[in-house]
Structure 1
Amino acid sequence: MRKFYEKYYQPDNATLIIAGKFDEKSALKYVSDYFSVLKKPDRNLGGTYTVEPAQNGEKYFEIKRNNDQQIIAAGYHTSAFADKDFAALSALYEILTSDPSGYLYKNLVETQKVSSIWTFSPVVRDPGMVYFNFDVPKDKNLDETTKLVRSELDKVSSIKFSQDDLKRAQAKLIKGIENERNNTIDFAINLTEIVGAGNYKLGFLYRDNVESLKLEDINRVAQKYFKNNNRTIGVFRPSSNEERVFPSEFRDQQIADLVKDYKGKALEKEPAPFEASIANVKKNLTEGKLFNGMKYGVINKELKGYKIQGTFRFRIGNEKDLESKESIGSMTASLLKAGTRTKTKEQIQDELDQMKSSVGAYVYGQNLIISIDTYKQHYPKVMAILQDMLTNATFPENELTKTITETNTWLEGQLKDPDAIANNELQRLAAPYPKTSIFYVASLQEQIDNNKKVTKAQVEDFYKNIMGASDGVGTLIGSIDAKTASAELEKTFGKFTAKSKFIEVKPTFFETKKQDKNIITPDKENAVALGTSSFKMTQDHPDYAALVMANEILGSGGFLSARLPMRLREKDGISYGVGSYLNIPVSNDVSSWNYYAYLNPTKRDAVEAAIKEEVSKAIASGFTQQELDSNKKSYANERTTSLGTDNTLINLVNTQLLFGRSLDKYDEQNAKIQNLTLSEVNAALKKYLSGNNVISVFAGDFNKK
C-alpha cells in the first residue's frame, strides 16, 4: 500500500481544495504535515498527444430496454472550457431550452410534441460535447417525434437571435455563477472540475466571457457547431463534400499564456462569523405575527453575497375540503408562476433571473410550502412578485396541460423503476388508508390517472378557496432589518386568506406486522430493499433520545461506525448503499423505524439475511460501550455542524413557531444523548423494534442468475 501511495499520490498530479470557514494557518499546517512527506518524482507526466477527429457525418443509435418512458437524445461536438466559444454556447443552450422563452421549448414543449427538454455540457480540458434530452410521452409516436426534433435542431444555425434572447440568457448564467459562488460546497466542487479543465483561473475567464457576450457570438457558434454532420441522433448517411467541424485545441502552454496575466475582480466582503449555537440563534432571532395570524421569525445572520432565504409553511383545508384533491393541489402550486393578471410566465421568470432570485411552491397533505432565495437589495421586489402570484395567478390552460404531461411523463418513467415501485408499495402496505383519506397513498398508475383528470376549474377553486396564510409560519434568514422584513411579509401574506377553514387531520396509527414482498422488475441492473416498522412516539417521549442513539449505532451513524453499513457494504460487499432512519414527528405519535439497501439483484437473499441477522443480533445481544461512546461523539459533532447550515436554522424556528417547540430542545436533546447509559439504549431498541413487525419490500430482476 505504501508503494502504491508513493507511486500515484504525488504532488505533481494532485490538486487540493479546502473550502469553508476554518483557521487558515492550521489548515496549511495540516497540508504541510500530511502531504509534504510525498516526494516529488523525477518523471514528467507529459502533455496531450491525441487530437479528437471531426465527425464524418450524422450518427444514430437506438437502445431498447424495458421501460415506459420515451427519450430522444442529441449530442454535438463542441469546444473546450478554455475556448471563448464555451461561454457563447452556454448562452445559446439557455436561449434554446429555457422555460418558457426557449426556441426549442416553444416549438416542442409548448406544442406538446415532447413533455420536457434539458441540456448538459461538461466542463472539460479538451473539446467536449453538449447533450440535449427530450422526454416524450408514451402516447406519441417516437419515430415521428424524432424526425420533428431533428428538423427543429436543423433550424438552429439559421435562427436570427435577438438582443433580448442574449440579455435573458446572460442573466440566467450570471445568476447561476453567483449562486454557486455563494454556496461554498458547490463552489469548491465546481472548482475541481475547472482545475481539471486546465487551470482554476479559467472559471473567472468564463464568467468574464459570459458578461462580455455579444449577439454575433451567439450567431457564430450556432452556425459553427450546429451542423447535422456534427450531431449524433440518427442513421449514418454517407455524403461527399461535408464541411467538418474542428474545435480549437488548447495545449498546456496556450492555457498558461491565456491566464498568466489575468487580474481577478475585487474580493467580496466575507460574511461576519455566526456562532453555531442555540444561544446565538435566540440572540439573533426576532419573532412576530401578521394581522391575519401568521407567525414569522427573522434570523439576523449575514450570508454570503448578502443573500436572503426564507421558507413559509401554511396549513390548509380540512378532511372534507381536501378529499381526493392531492393532484389538484400539486398542480395548483406548480402553476403559481405560470402567469398572473399583471405578468406573463416569461416576465416573471425574466425578472427573477435578472435579480438572481428564485421562488418555489409545492403542496403536500395539509401543507403549502413556499420558499424564496434572493439578495438583500432585491428582497422587496421578489416579495412583490410572490404577492402577485398569490393574489393574481391566472393558470393558463396550456400551462396546465404542459404540467400534467411533464409530470406524467416522469411518472411513466417510474412505473418500472425498482426504487420508485418499492417505495410506493411499502407506503401502501404500511398505511392502508381508504381512498377518501387525505393520507391515502395512490399507486403510480393512479397518480398518472388522477393528474389527467385535473381541470382548470378545479385548480382555480383550490387556489381561491383552500390556499391561504392564516394558519402558518415562516422564517427569513439573512442580514435584513426585522421591521423591513415584517413590512414586506405583511404586504405579501397579510391578506392571503383561505375560505376553507383549517382543521388538522391527524394520521391513523397502523400496527405493522411481519411481511416480505417481492416485486419483479425485468431487465433492471439494480435492485432495492426497503423496510418499515411502526410504533407510537413523539419527540418529547422519554424513550426518544435512547431510540435515536440506538438507530445511530444500528444504521444511521456512518460507514465507519454503524452496523448495517459496516456489515453489508464494508465487510460483505453486497450492497451499494445501506442504512436506517427514524421518522418521529413533533405533533403526532405515528412513528416508524425504516431501512434501505441498494443491491445487485443476484444478492437479494444475501442482503435480506444480513439485514435480519444484524437487527436480530442487536436486539438479542445489545450494543457495546465502545459503540455508544463513539456514536455519542459523532452525533454531537453532527448536531453542531447542522447548526451552521441555514436550512437547519430555518426549520428549527419554523418548528418553534408552528408547534411551540422551544429552540432549547435542540440542546436538551444533545444533553440527553450524552447522558444515556448503555442499558437505556439497548432497552429502547428491544422495546420498539422486533423482527416480527417489519414490512419489507424487495424490487428488482430477481430472476437473474
Structure 2
Amino acid sequence: MKLIKHLLLHVCIITFVLSCAKEENTIESQTFKVDFEKFTLDNGLQVIFHVDRSDPVVAVALTTHVGSAREIEGRTGFAHLFEHLLFLESENLGKGGLDKMSARIGGSGANGSTSRDRTNYFQTVPKDALEKMIWAEADKLGFFINTVTDQVLAKEKQVVKNEKRQGVDNRPFGHNSYVIDKNLYPEGHPYNWQVIGSLEDLQSATLQDVKDFYNRWYVPNNVTLTIAGDFDTAQAKLWVEKYFSEIKRGEDIPKMEKQPVTLSQTKKIYYEDNFANVPRLTLTWPGVHNYHPDAYALDVLATYLAQGKQAPLYKAVVEDQKLSDRVSAYQYNSEIAGQFMLQVTAYSDTDLQKVLSGIEEGFAKFEEEGISEAELKRIKAGQETDFYNSLSSVLGKGFQLAQYEIFAGDPGFVNQDVKNILAVTPEDVMRVYEHYIKDKNFVATSFVPKDQKELALEDSRLAEVVEEPIVDGAEETFDASLTTDYEKTPSSFDRSIEPPYGESPEVKVPVVWEEELSSGLKVFGIEHHEVPLVQFEMQLKGGMLLENPEKTGVSNLLAELLTKGTAGKTPEELENAIEMLGASINVRASRESINIYGTSLARNYEETIALVQEILLQPRWDEKEFNLLKQSTLAQIERQKSQPNSIAELEFNKLIYGEDHLLSNDNLGTQASVNAIDLEDLKAYYTDNFSPNITKFHVVGSITQDEVTESLLDLNTNWTSRAVEFPDLPEPEAPAASKVYFYDIPGAKQSVLRFGYPALAATDADFYPATLLNYRLGGGGFASQLTQQLREGKGYTYGIRSGFSGTNLTGPFQISSGVRSNVTYESTSLIKEILENYGNDYNEKDLEITKSYMIKSNARAFETIRNKLNMLTDISNYGYAVDYARQREAVVRAMTVDDMKALAEQYITPDAMIYLIVGDASTQLNKLEQLGFGKPVLLNE
C-alpha cells in the first residue's frame, strides 16, 4: 500500500497447471510448466529463481512473512508502517534509498504491499541492473534499522495516516471492514484489527517499538527472495550469497497456528456514514484459510451465486426486485482463517431489510436448483484465462512462486492446488453452502447515509467507530532535513560502493503489422507467443463527441447494452457463449470513442471474434435490459455525488473546458439527461455513427496476421461504411490569471486538490518534450519534487502527481493529490512555490536523472500483452511511427537544460491556472485567500 496496489492475486483461481474443457463432464489437464530453482542460505533466506528470456527485464521481490497478524493490540499498523519505512533509506543506499535508485536504473518504481500475513517489496528493472537490485534488497534487510530516527518515524507516521484518511476516513463505506473484523473475530484474534492499523496506535509508536518489531521479523529466516526474468542463474546465485549471506539469522519464527472462528449468534450492526448517499449491506460468514480443502468449492460458490445474468442472487436482487445494480460475493482467505462475503450497494432510500429478503430468495433458488456441470465448466474456463493473464509479466510469476513457498511450504504445491481445483463437483458446491452459509450465523453491517438509520436491518446496533476531528496544528511536527549520525553495521566488504551495471540490454521493439480492409477497417497487430492468449481492442471513434448535448450518456448506455444479448441470443445465452470459451468481451464508452475489449484463449480466438461480430452487427435492443442499465447508470451518478475524487474530476472538467463545452460533461450523463434518453436514442446513435471506416482493430497475442485477417472477413463484408460527421469543438482557453475554486464537503478528513489548465494535445510537437519536463516535477513518483517535498519533506499527503493528458484533442496539465485537511492552504502554497521555482532551478542533475530513466525504462516498455496493445493504440491514434520508442530515445538524448527551462517557462504557469479544492469549507476556505489569487469561489454555495 505504498502508492499503487499491484496485482491483487486471487490464489484460489491461479495455478501453474491448466484445465481446459474437453467434453461436457470431463476436464483434461494440460501442463504449462514454470520452471524454478529453489535454495536456502545458511542464515535461512529462501531463494527462488525463475528464468524467462522473453524480455530483457528482471523482477525482484523480497517477501517477509509478517503482516498485521504478527502485531499485538495497541501496537497495530507496524507491518504496514515498515512497508513505508524500508523505501526511505538504508546505510549504503543513502537517503532516498531504493526509490532514488529506481529513477536512475529505469525501474518500474519500487513498490510494496502489506496483508494480514506478509509484506512484500518488488520492482521490475532492466536486466543490467540485477546486481544493483540484489545489493539494494540486502541493504534493506540487514543494513537498514540504524537509519530510522525519531524524525524519520514522525514523518512517515504522517504519510501512513494520510493514506488511512484517503483510503478509509474520506470515502463512502470506508469503515466497513473495520466494523466487520471487530465483530467477526474475537478480541485478541490476529485478524481483529485492520492492516493499516489505527491512527492512535500509529501516533503512539515509539522508535524502540519500531526497532523491536524489525529485529524480530525482518530476519533472513523469515524472508523469501524471488528473482524472475532474463538473467544468469549461476551469476545471480553468487550475488545473492555475496550480499545476503552475512546477514545474521534471527530467532526461530513460530508457525502461525490456524485460528478459525465461529459465531454464537448473528450480529447486526449499522453505521451512519458521513460520505455515503446510498445504503450498503454486507454479510460475512466465517470461512476457511488459504488452501483449505473447502476453499476451492467456496470460490466456485461465490462466483456462481453473484456473477452473471443467471446468478441466483443477481436475478433476485437486481432483475426481480430491482433493489441494486449489482451483487458481489467473494472469499477473503488468509493464512490462519478466512471469511465468505456478500455485498450489495442498494439504490437510494432502499430499505436494506428488503435487500436481505432478496438475498434469501436467491439462496432459496440455489438450494432448489444447485449448480449444473455446464455452469461448473463455464466457471473453470474463466479460471484458465485468469491464470494466463497472471503470467503475463515476470513479476506475476515471481509473486506466485513466493505465495506457494510461504503459505503452502513449497512452490511445487502447484500440482496439488490444481488437483483440488479440478476436483470440485456440483455436490461439493452445495455441500460447502450447507456447511458454511445455510442457516449459519453471520455478521451483517448496514452502512447508511446520515440521518437514515431506518434503512438499516431491523434490530441492528450502532457500530463503534472513532472519527478523527479536524484540528489545526494537531499533528506532530518534524524536520525531515535533520540527519543523525549512527554506527554502521559491520560488513566483510565495502557495501557503500554501488555495483556496476551489467551488459546493456537490447530493447526489443515488437514487430507491428498494419492492414486496411476494403470496408475501411484499419487493423494493427503484434504476434506474441509467450502465453496462449489473445487480447484485442476495437475502437470506434465517437463516444461522447457524437452525442446530443441535451442527452449526454447515450453512448455509455449503448456500449453497456451491446453485451446484453444479440438478435439471436438472449442476454443469458450470450453470456454463456462468451464464458464457455474462457473469454471476456466488454464494451465501454469514453469521451472520444466506444471500445470493445476482449481476451480469449488463442485456440478460441476465432469463435470469440464471431461473437464480437454478432454483438456489433446484430444488437438485441432489449427493453428490459435497457431499463435496468438506465437505473444502474442513475445509481452510479448518485453515488458519485458522495465521492470526493469523483466530485473533483467532474468539477475540474467544467472549469477546464467551460460549462457549455461538450468535454465538460461526464460521459455517464446527468440524472436529467439519462432520464430523457429512450431506446430510440440509442438506435439512432448506432445507425448514424457505427461504421468500419472510423474503426480501428488492435490485436496482440499468439496469432498470426493471416489468422486475424481471416477472422475479420465476414465483418468486413457485412458491415456497411457510412459518412460520419464530427463536431468542431472550440479550443479550451487557458485562464489569464489564477483563480481558486472550492467545493464544500462538510467534515472531509482530506482535501482533494486538482490544479491545472488546458495545455496540449498528444499530437503536438511539444507533448513528449513536456512529459520529459514533467518527470522531475510530478511524473516520476519518488523522483519528483512534488512527492519529495509534500510527502517526504512535510508528510502532508500520501501521494501527489502531475502530468499532461492530451489526446487528439487538447488536454490539461494537471496536478492531483489528497492532502490532510488541516494543511490545505500550506499544501497549496507549497505547490505554487515549487511551480514558480521549477524552471529556474532545473539543472544538469535533473536532466541526467530524467534521461537515465526514460532511456533505460524502454527495456520494460513492451513486456506484457497490455503494454503491446497500448503501443498499437498510440501508433494508430496519434500517427506515431512504429519505432517511436527508439525515435524518442534520440529526442531524450538531444535535450538540454536550456530546452527544459524554455519548456518550463511556456508550460509551467502557476499564475495562470485553475486551483480547485474539494474539502471542508468551514475550516479551510478562508485561509486560501492568502495565496494572492483573490477570494476563493465557492462552487456549491
- The TM-score with structure 2 as length reference comes to 0.65
What letter corresponds to residue 221 of structure 2 in structure 1? D
1:470 partner SS: helix
- Find the counterpart in structure 2 of residue 458 from structure 1: 681
1:497 partner SS: coil
CA contact (8 A) 2:835 2:910 kept: yes
Q: State the alpha-carbon separation in 2 of the partners of residues 349 and 386 from structure 1.
A: 12
What letter corresponds to residue 338 of structure 1 in structure 2? K
Q: 1:146 aligns with which of 350, 356, 361?
A: 356
1:624-674: CA deviation from partner (whole Å, max 9, x where unpaired): 211111121012123332133433433333443445332244322221222
- Find the counterpart in structure 1 of residue 381 from structure 2: 171
**Alignment map for 1:400-411 (pairs within 5 Å):** 400-411=626-637
Q: What's the CA shift for 1:530?
A: 0.9
Q: 1:343 aligns with which of 525, 548, 569?
A: 569
Q: What's the CA shift for 1:61?
A: 0.9
- Find the counterpart in structure 1 of residue 273 from structure 2: 65
What letter corresponds to residue 432 of structure 2 in structure 1? V
Are 1:582 and 2:804 an aligned pair?
A: yes
CA contact (8 A) 1:55 1:230 kept: yes
Q: What's the CA shift for 1:459?
A: 1.9
1:240-267: CA deviation from partner (whole Å, max 9, x where unpaired): xxxxxxxxxxxxxxxxxxxxxxxxxxxx
- Find the counterpart in structure 2 of residue 47 from structure 1: 255
- Find the counterpart in structure 2 of residue 628 from structure 1: 847
CA contact (8 A) 1:65 1:523 kept: no
Are 1:412 and 2:638 an aligned pair?
A: yes
CA contact (8 A) 1:414 1:420 kept: yes
Q: State the alpha-carbon separation in 2 of the partners of residues 342 and 310 from structure 1.
A: 24
1:531-575: CA deviation from partner (whole Å, max 9, x where unpaired): 11223566452x44543222111111221x211110001111111
Q: State the alpha-carbon separation in 2 of the partners of residues 86 and 299 from structure 1.
A: 38
- Find the counterpart in structure 2 of residue 393 from structure 1: 619
- Find the counterpart in structure 1 of residue 823 from structure 2: 603
Q: What's the CA shift for 1:499?
A: 4.6
Quick one: structure 1 residues 101 and 181, their matched pair in 2 at CA, closer, same or farther if it must change by over 3 Å? farther
- Find the counterpart in structure 1 of residue 751 from structure 2: 527
Q: State the alpha-carbon separation in 2 of the partners of residues 702 and 16 from structure 1.
A: 48
- Find the counterpart in structure 2 of residue 616 from structure 1: 836
Larger mean CA deviation between 217-226 and 663-672 belongs to: 663-672
CA contact (8 A) 1:69 1:410 kept: no
2:797 partner SS: coil
**Alignment map for 1:57-136 (pairs within 5 Å):** 57-66=265-274, 67-111=276-320, 112-136=322-346
Q: 2:733 aligns with which of 510, 514, 522?
A: 510
- Find the counterpart in structure 2 of residue 328 from structure 1: 554
Are 1:224 and 2:453 an aligned pair?
A: no
Q: State the alpha-carbon separation in 1 of the partners of residues 878 and 771 from structure 2.
A: 21
Are 1:594 and 2:594 an aligned pair?
A: no
- Find the counterpart in structure 2 of residue 285 from structure 1: 512
Q: State the alpha-carbon separation in 1 of the partners of residues 601 and 375 from structure 2.
A: 24
Q: What's the CA shift for 1:101?
A: 1.2
CA contact (8 A) 1:359 1:386 kept: yes
What letter corresponds to residue 55 of structure 1 in structure 2? L
- Find the counterpart in structure 2 of residue 677 from structure 1: 896
CA contact (8 A) 1:533 1:689 kept: no
- Find the counterpart in structure 1 of residue 780 from structure 2: 557
Quick one: structure 1 residues 175 and 321, their matched pair in 2 at CA, closer, same or farther if it must change by over 3 Å? closer
Q: State the alpha-carbon separation in 2 of the partners of residues 177 and 566 from structure 1.
A: 38
1:62 partner SS: strand
Are 1:213 and 2:424 an aligned pair?
A: yes
CA contact (8 A) 2:306 2:327 kept: yes
Quick one: structure 1 residues 366 and 554, their matched pair in 2 at CA, closer, same or farther if it must change by over 3 Å? closer
Are 1:571 and 2:793 an aligned pair?
A: yes
- Find the counterpart in structure 1 of residue 652 from structure 2: 426
The number of residue pairs the alignment matches comes to 656
Q: State the alpha-carbon separation in 2 of the partners of residues 46 and 61 from structure 1.
A: 36
CA contact (8 A) 2:332 2:341 kept: no
Q: State the alpha-carbon separation in 1 of the partners of residues 825 and 718 from structure 2.
A: 58
Q: State the alpha-carbon separation in 2 of the partners of residues 100 and 318 from structure 1.
A: 28
Q: 2:589 aligns with which of 359, 363, 369?
A: 363
Q: State the alpha-carbon separation in 2 of the partners of residues 7 and 141 from structure 1.
A: 49
What letter corresponds to residue 517 of structure 1 in structure 2? Y
Quick one: structure 1 residues 180 and 507, their matched pair in 2 at CA, closer, same or farther if it must change by over 3 Å? farther
Q: State the alpha-carbon separation in 1 of the partners of residues 848 and 512 from structure 2.
A: 34
1:208 partner SS: helix
CA contact (8 A) 2:312 2:365 kept: no
Larger mean CA deviation between 627-636 and 25-34 belongs to: 25-34
Q: What's the CA shift for 1:90?
A: 0.7
Q: What's the CA shift for 1:319?
A: 6.8
Are 1:449 and 2:669 an aligned pair?
A: no
Q: Which runs of 5+ in 1 are unaligned?
A: 238-273
**Alignment map for 1:627-666 (pairs within 5 Å):** 627-666=846-885
What letter corresponds to residue 640 of structure 1 in structure 2? A
CA contact (8 A) 1:321 1:500 kept: no
1:277-296: CA deviation from partner (whole Å, max 9, x where unpaired): 44xx3xx3222111111221
1:101-130: CA deviation from partner (whole Å, max 9, x where unpaired): 111111111121222111221231223101
- Find the counterpart in structure 1 of residue 154 from structure 2: none
Are 1:353 and 2:353 an aligned pair?
A: no
Q: State the alpha-carbon separation in 2 of the partners of residues 440 and 592 from structure 1.
A: 12
2:270 partner SS: coil
- Find the counterpart in structure 1 of residue 199 from structure 2: none
CA contact (8 A) 1:579 1:595 kept: yes
Q: State the alpha-carbon separation in 2 of the partners of residues 57 and 294 from structure 1.
A: 62
Q: What's the CA shift for 1:203?
A: 5.0
Quick one: structure 1 residues 678 and 138, their matched pair in 2 at CA, closer, same or farther if it must change by over 3 Å? same
Q: State the alpha-carbon separation in 2 of the partners of residues 317 and 115 from structure 1.
A: 23
Are 1:17 and 2:240 an aligned pair?
A: no
Q: State the alpha-carbon separation in 2 of the partners of residues 536 and 84 from structure 1.
A: 56
Quick one: structure 1 residues 133 and 672, their matched pair in 2 at CA, closer, same or farther if it must change by over 3 Å? same
- The TM-score with structure 1 as length reference comes to 0.86
Q: What's the CA shift for 1:331?
A: 0.9
Q: What's the CA shift for 1:150?
A: 4.7
What letter corresponds to residue 849 of structure 2 in structure 1? S
Q: State the alpha-carbon separation in 2 of the partners of residues 498 and 677 from structure 1.
A: 48
CA contact (8 A) 2:757 2:812 kept: yes
Q: 1:299 aligns with which of 512, 526, 532?
A: 526
1:499-528: CA deviation from partner (whole Å, max 9, x where unpaired): 552436445231224111122212433331
1:19 partner SS: strand
CA contact (8 A) 1:411 1:448 kept: yes
2:267 partner SS: coil
What letter corresponds to residue 70 of structure 1 in structure 2? P
1:134-155: CA deviation from partner (whole Å, max 9, x where unpaired): 0101042334333443554477
CA contact (8 A) 1:57 1:228 kept: no
Q: What's the CA shift for 1:622?
A: 2.5
Question: Over the residues paired in the alignment, what is the CA RMSD in angstroms?
Answer: 2.9
Q: What's the CA shift for 1:235?
A: 6.6
Q: State the alpha-carbon separation in 2 of the partners of residues 350 and 186 from structure 1.
A: 29
Q: State the alpha-carbon separation in 1 of the partners of residues 538 and 397 from structure 2.
A: 27
Give aligned-pair identity as a percent. 19
What letter corresponds to residue 302 of structure 2 in structure 1? Y
Q: State the alpha-carbon separation in 2 of the partners of residues 356 and 293 from structure 1.
A: 30
1:278-333: CA deviation from partner (whole Å, max 9, x where unpaired): 4xx3xx322211111122122123232x2112222222499776544541111111
CA contact (8 A) 2:591 2:667 kept: no
- Find the counterpart in structure 1 of residue 138 from structure 2: none
Are 1:312 and 2:531 an aligned pair?
A: no
